[in-house]
Amino acid sequence: MALPRWRSWFVPIATLLAVTEVILIMVGQHVAFHRLLVWIPAVGGVAIAVGAFIATAGGAPSGSPLDRFWRRVAVAMGAVFIGAASQTVDVAVVPFNGMPPLGSRTLLCYVIGTLLAIIALLRLPGGGRTWRQLTTAVLDLAVVAVTAGVAASEYLGWAVDKFDGRASAWWLNLAMVAIGVAGVTVVVKIMSASRSPAARTALWWLAPIGIAGPLSVILMTAFRPWPHLNGSAAVLAFVGLFGALAGNAQQRAYAGHGATSSRVAHPAVYRRGAAIPLIATGLTSLLVGTVYLRTGHLTTIQVAGTTLLLLLVVTRQAFALGENATLLETVAHQAMHDELTGLYSRRSFTTAVAGAEGPHTVALIDLKDFRAINDSLGPAAGDALLTEYAARLTRLAGDRAVVARLGGDEFGLLLPGAPEQTATIVDPLVAAGDEPLSAAGHEVVVEVSIGIADGPDMYRRAEIALREAGAHTDARVVRWDASLERHVNQRATIAADLRRALHAGEFHMLYQPIVALPHGLITGVESLIRWTRADGRTISPADFVPVAEETGLILELGEWIIDTVCAQAAEWRRRYGADALDSVGVNVSARQLLDPGLPERVAATLARHGLPAEQLTVEITETAVFGGGRALATVQALSELGVHIALDDFGTGHSSLGLLRTCPVDVIKVDKSFVDGLNGTLHQEAIAGAIADIAEKMELGTVAEGVETPEQARRLYELGYRRAQGFLFARPMTVAAIDELLDPGVGMAA
């Protein structure tokens, strides 16, 4: 978020005014000029600061603590502006010889501005604190107050002497000391606040403003030889500059973090608060030592103040040590526990597994489809679901188990005993998956995948078992055995060979016809990838496609498939005419749908081969788009190209009918399980018939998959299906075999 242009000029203008003031002071020591000249950049600088604070408040949400803070600071600086204008009038109309005049009206404005600034700082939220932290903060203020008192006693004596002992000097310098306290208050606020809505950099820019009062008195005495110069004017120009810089720092924080974000202090920030007593003690010791060397004695105030300061520092450090011990305990607990659920963390769990003595079993648990639930119901519901499941897991596992959240939606159990002895925990855990959990007002049923292992290296073995359980929808619990290890090694070998095979040309495409019922003429094809190694060994797609998904090679492999299929479809179109095939189908994985560049590549491929978009059908699964988000957006972009979208394996996913409302589907491919059930109960036929009826009413095409008998084909036709695919008509075929079918007059009778 860029700052408005008129706000961006605050700092340059304030800088120009401060530089102008410095130049006037340097020139004024050699050349006399009108005494009001130095007040122009001084009053202008304060006005700029007021404008910067008002603009900064306007960038925060109305009524927020940040808005109120900057408006209060703006009012305080407004009082200083009135005081500066009043002092300018005093200088213009009151004759003086020596020290410039400073009327009671002017002094009152400065004091009011100082008090308002202190109130604004004290009311700025500093974040939640323990009672020890609050006590330590109070002691910090007391340390600063005693240090300031010791310094003020010496300052007031010096200042009154410079003012020739006049009584009014007491009031003037008391006011200047109060203004100095404002600056110290800012410093203490910055160093002790654990959390503040105001940008820390902005507060640091405000801090030097507090020394403006005492510094102006010192400069007044220094400028006595040049009555046209003024100490107040010299510092007010820089008050404006520091105010503009503070506002600018806060506005940049808006741009980087948002106006509503709180600035969380790094853990080191609070530790920097320990510098307060050290600095205060050091400064007081330096002051007292200097006074003693110069005068040979100390005043009662200086001795009493130094003694009290030492007592406060000792007390403060005692409280700080107690707070540090509590903080270390908290950090240690957080390092070993999960923040959301309160369960042990992955680090604690792996440590417990490594130190387990005697027979133990590791059970790793993954919540199926948690990402889809989290995306559809929102992160709050997702967090509530994890918390509820953690409570269920703790209750079922019992006191002897180590229960951990390992990250995301994965949990771990370390159970005493061998796997067969832990069935009393694992079996109820699986059964409980059918019971709904409450998640932010939603009742959610969550299935789980569980991997179990014991013996040496049981954590790694349980991970292998869990991966296997997650890869098969019909297996909730998988126990590790040696065959799983061999399977993992096989998958690793496949992963290593995949890229080499792609570049070596070991992949090829087969095409399974889609026919029209009842006569069986070919109307389309579905493309299917096959892998034949150089040694003649065939690798099943069921083995290499999941590995390609895991490794990410599915993106490169999928791009090759789409290019090959589009090239072949364009060749059939040129050879046999535009009406030879309605469409050529290509399967697109869930991983590919998460690639935002897929629609652009498909469009480029279609254009390169001269294939109309409507002759390409992209086949997707219900699970790939159930969660919506990026995958659904990709499907919508493909549909907008004119590509047909087919919903594969319809009826086996999460919410098939719901997807028909949200996903731009053109064709429903009914899963083989419904076709197999046609010769079973009336319920099976009722479901298959209902799907066909819904598709007809929604003007969607249907394809029945897995047709293997003439009886199935005839019954499907009676139920309203007009397209089918299966071994009854043809197995996946080569390009040459498809060419024979596309010759005029050749068909496949059912």
Q: What is the DSSP string of 558-597?
A: HHHHHHHHHHHHHHHHHHH-TTS-SEEEEE--HHHHT-TT
Q: Which residue type does 518 have?
A: P
The answer to whether residues 725 and 707 touch, using CB atoms and an 8 Å cutoff, is: yes
Q: Is residue 595 part of a domain?
A: yes
Q: CATH number, domain at 542?
A: 3.20.20.450
Q: Are residues 103 and 243 in the same domain?
A: yes
Of 181, 629, 154, the C-alpha closest to 376 is 629
Residue 628's pLDDT band (cuts 50, 70, 90): low
For 260-269, 313-322, 508-517, which range has the lowest pLDDT when averaged over its residues? 260-269
Render pLDDT for 373-405 as a digit per residue (tens, 0 to 9).
777 778 888 888 888 888 888 888 888 889 999
Q: Is the dihedral of CA 613, 653, 657, 626 positive or negative?
A: negative
Render pLDDT for 186-209 as a digit per residue (tens, 0 to 9).
555 555 555 667 887 888 788 777
- List the structure tokens of 466: 């869990």
**For residue 232, what pLDDT is reported?**
85
The answer to whether residues 401 and 377 touch, using CB atoms and an 8 Å cutoff, is: no
Alpha-carbon distance 510 to 530, whole Å?
A: 7
Q: Which residue type does 328 have?
A: L
The answer to whether residues 117 and 243 touch, using CB atoms and an 8 Å cutoff, is: no
Q: Are residues 140 and 52 in the same domain?
A: yes
Examine the pLDDT at 478 and tell me if it is beyond 60: yes
Q: What is the DSSP string of 414-431?
A: EEES-GGGGHHHHHHHHH
Q: Which residue has the tokens 């004596």?
A: 157
Give the number of other CB atoms < 10 A from CB of residue 736: 7
**For residue 165, what pLDDT is reported?**
45
Residue 329's pLDDT band (cuts 50, 70, 90): low
Please give the sequence-ordered ranges of beta strands (E in DSSP) within 337-396, or none if there are none.
Answer: 360-367
Burial 472-489 (b: 16+ CB within 10 A, else e): eeeebbbbbeeebeebbe
Q: Are residues 316 and 369 in the same domain?
A: no
Alpha-carbon distance 280 to 86, whole Å?
A: 35
**For residue 72, what pLDDT is reported?**
92
Alpha-carbon distance 86 to 575, whole Å?
A: 96
Which contacts of 99-106 are long-range, i.e. CB under 8 A and separated by 24 or more positions? 99/163, 99/220, 99/221, 99/224, 100/220, 100/227, 100/230, 100/231, 100/232, 102/172, 102/232
Q: Is residue 715 part of a domain?
A: yes
**For residue 44, what pLDDT is reported?**
94
**For residue 263, what pLDDT is reported?**
41
Q: Is residue 334 part of a domain?
A: no
Q: Are residues 363 and 384 in the same domain?
A: yes
Q: Are residues 474 and 515 in the same domain?
A: no
Q: State residue 443 phi and psi, 5-degree precision.
A: -95, 115
Structure-model confidence comparison of residues 586 and 371, the more confident one: 586
Q: Is residue 337 part of a domain?
A: no
Q: Report the chain's mean pLDDT, rounded to a whole number.
A: 80
- Sequence length of the chain is 750
Render pLDDT for 76-127 as a digit per residue (tens, 0 to 9).
999 999 999 998 998 888 877 666 777 788 888 888 888 888 788 777 765 5
Q: Pick the last residue of a domain from 430, 445, 480.
A: 480
Q: Is residue 573 part of a domain?
A: yes
Alpha-carbon distance 45 to 209, whole Å?
A: 13
- List the structure tokens of 353: 């597994």
Q: Are residues 634 and 694 in the same domain?
A: yes
CA 348 from centroid of its chain's CA atoms: 25
What is the average per-residue pLDDT within 508-514? 96
Of 138, 248, 117, the C-alpha closest to 186 is 117
Q: Is residue 98 part of a domain?
A: yes
The dihedral region occupied by 702, where left means phi > 0, alpha psi between -120 and 50, and beta the remainder, is beta
Q: Which residue type does 555 have?
A: L
Q: Pick the last residue of a domain from 432, 456, 480.
A: 480
Of 744, 734, 743, the C-alpha closest to 513 is 734
**CA distances to 175, 204, 400 from 250, in Å:** 29, 11, 53
Side-chain half-sphere exposure of 284, counting CA atoms within 13 A: 26
Beta bridge partners of 583: 524
Q: State residue 513 phi and psi, 5-degree precision.
A: -65, 145
Alpha-carbon distance 742 to 581, whole Å?
A: 8
Q: CATH number, domain at 464?
A: 3.30.70.270
**CB-based contacts of 291, cutoff 8 Å, min separation 6:** 154, 298, 302
Residue 271's pLDDT band (cuts 50, 70, 90): very low
Examine the pLDDT at 3 and tell me if it is beyond 70: no
Q: Are residues 433 and 532 in the same domain?
A: no
**For residue 706, what pLDDT is reported?**
92
Q: Tell me what percent of the residues of the chain surpass a pLDDT of 70.
A: 75
Burial 229-268 (b: 16+ CB within 10 A, else e): bbbbbbbbbbbbbbbbbbbbbbbebbeeeebeeebebeee
Q: Are residues 360 and 238 in the same domain?
A: no
Q: Are residues 109 and 248 in the same domain?
A: yes
Q: Is residue 268 part of a domain?
A: yes
Q: Is residue 748 part of a domain?
A: no
Alpha-carbon distance 251 to 117, whole Å?
A: 20
Please give the sequence-ordered ranges of beta strands (E in DSSP) within 153-218, or none if there are none.
Answer: 195-196
Examine the pLDDT at 259 and tell me if it is beyond 50: no
What is the average per-residue pLDDT within 227-247? 90
For 270-274, 631-635, 709-713, which range has the lowest pLDDT when averaged over its residues? 270-274
Q: Are residues 672 and 579 in the same domain?
A: yes
Structure-model confidence comparison of residues 211 and 568, the more confident one: 568
Beta bridge partners of 452: 363, 479
Q: Are residues 536 and 685 in the same domain?
A: yes
Alpha-carbon distance 51 to 247, whole Å?
A: 9
Q: Pick the last residue of a domain from 480, 506, 527.
A: 480
Render pLDDT for 246-258 as a digit per residue (tens, 0 to 9).
998 888 887 665 4
Q: Which residue has the tokens 């600063």?
A: 144
Q: Which residue type does 495 have?
A: A
Helix and strand numbers (H, E) in the chain are: 30, 18
Examine the pLDDT at 265 and tell me if it is beyond 50: no
CA angle 450, 411, 476 (to 5 degrees): 15
What is the average per-residue pLDDT within 594-620? 94
The answer to whether residues 192 and 126 touch, using CB atoms and an 8 Å cutoff, is: yes
Q: Are residues 89 and 139 in the same domain?
A: yes
Alpha-carbon distance 626 to 653, whole Å?
A: 8
What is the average per-residue pLDDT within 586-595? 91
Of 17, 7, 129, the C-alpha closest to 70 is 7
**CB-based contacts of 526, cutoff 8 Å, min separation 6:** 511, 512, 514, 584, 585, 586, 587, 619, 725
**pTM (2 decimals)?**
0.49
The answer to whether residues 41 and 17 touch, using CB atoms and an 8 Å cutoff, is: yes
Examine the pLDDT at 163 and tell me if it is beyond 70: no
**For residue 294, what pLDDT is reported?**
62
Q: How many domains, the chain? A: 3
Give the number of other CB atoms < 10 A from CB of residue 310: 16
Q: Tell me what percent of the residues of the chain surpass a pLDDT of 90.
A: 29
The answer to whether residues 584 and 529 touch, using CB atoms and an 8 Å cutoff, is: no
Tell me which residue range forms the domain holding 265. 5-325
Q: Which residue type does 372 have?
A: A
The answer to whether residues 377 and 383 touch, using CB atoms and an 8 Å cutoff, is: no
- List the structure tokens of 248: 């600018």
3-state secondary structure of 673: helix
**For residue 269, what pLDDT is reported?**
39
**For residue 167, what pLDDT is reported?**
44
Alpha-carbon distance 264 to 126, whole Å?
A: 10
Cis-peptide, bond into residue 518, ω within 30° of zero: yes
